[in-house]
């Protein structure tokens, strides 16, 4: 009985030591930049909207890009195969107007993050 308890105590200590290390390794992911930038005016809707985070993320939940009529212009949204901290949202053909984008991802630590941005296509 005593032996078991000692082993249990050691296991608890090992877990506590591991937990103390985790917060640094899995700091919260933050948004680094959006392209086109929030508030920007561009000449044409780009082929891709790029959403970049401070560190690699787990997965993309959704990205939408709404025009003033409420139509979504994102065709597909996925992680950049060359940069796991970046989401590439493929968009439809350019048209003038203001677009409101929303994104939703799951960070590497399992936390959900969402955000919003807006830009104008002048053309």
Q: Which residues bind Cu ion (CB under 5 A)?
A: 28, 109, 111
Distance CA 52, CA 115 (A): 12
Kindly write down the DSSP assignment for every residue of 10-42, as one continuous string: HHHHHHHHHHHHHHHHTPPP-EEEEESPTT-EE
Task: Report in angstroms the alpha-carbon separations of 2 from 9, 15, 27, 89.
Answer: 11, 20, 39, 59
Q: Which of 96, 83, 104, 92 is nearest to 49 (CA)?
A: 92
Residue with tokens 């506590």: 16
Closer residue to Cu ion (CB): 97 or 115: 115
CB of 111 to Cu ion, least distance (A): 3
Distance, CA of 32 to CA of 38 (rounded, Å): 12
Of 6 and 111, which has the nearer Cβ to Cu ion? 111
* Residue (111 or 116) nearer to Cu ion, CB: 111
Q: Which is nearer to Cu ion, 84 or 100 (CB)?
A: 84
Which residue's CB comes closest to Cu ion?
111
């Amino acid at each position: 009985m005593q032996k078991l308890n000692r082993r249990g105590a050691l296991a608890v200590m090992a877990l506590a030591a591991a937990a103390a290390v985790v917060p640094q390794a899995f700091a919260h992911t933050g948004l680094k930049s959006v392209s086109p930038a929030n508030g920007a005016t561009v000449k044409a809707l780009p082929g891709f909207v790029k959403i970049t985070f401070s560190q690699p993320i787990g997965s993309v939940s959704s990205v939408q890009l709404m025009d003033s009529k409420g139509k979504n212009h994102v065709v597909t949204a996925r992680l950049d195969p060359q940069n796991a901290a970046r989401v590439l949202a493929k968009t439809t053909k350019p048209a003038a107007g203001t677009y409101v984008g929303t994104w939703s991802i799951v960070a590497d630590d399992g936390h959900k993050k969402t955000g919003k941005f807006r830009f104008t296509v002048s053309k």
